Amino acid sequence: MSNNVIILIARILLSFMFIFAGFGKVTDPASTAGMIAGAGLPASTALAYLAGLFELATGIAVLVGFQVRIVGWLLAVFCVFTGLVFHLAPVNVPDFPAAANGWINGLNFVNLMKNITLAGAYIMLATNGAGAYSLDARRGAYAAA
């Protein structure tokens, strides 16, 4: 299998999470707004919509291979930022049993590691480009690293 086919498959897989998460935030921002408010950030509903639009737009850009070198860096920074802001601190849900809070914290740590790992994948995408099967290639903006 050629590297360009592998890059296309990677782009498809890397786009799913942000397309679906972004769509969910744009159509129903309440839970994301709650997380944002819980992290102490202002204008939680507006930020939830902005995050959703960002995720949806960048996810689609990765999927079709448009401006991937720029979008890859943006998503890498976004992944690290959201990992550190929303998944680093321990979670303590009042009135939950200790075991349940421990389980939630375990999942939170997994999400932190997922975000950091995804940042690496997006950096790799940003430095290698979208591949031959992309809008970047069609417009002459793709050159192998």
pLDDT digits (tens, 9 = 90+) for 47-65: 999 999 999 999 999 999 9
110: three-class secondary structure by DSSP: helix
Rg (CA), the chain: 17
Tell me the whole-structure pTM to 2 decimals.
Answer: 0.89
Q: 1: exposed, middle or buried (C-beta count within 10 Å: 0-12, 13-18, 19+)? A: exposed
32: tokens are 């994301």
Q: What distances in angstroms separate CA 22 from CA 18, 73, 111, 129, one per listed residue? A: 6, 18, 17, 23
Distance between CA 65 and CA 59 in Å, rounded? Answer: 10
**pLDDT tens string 21-49:** 999 999 999 999 998 998 889 999 999 99
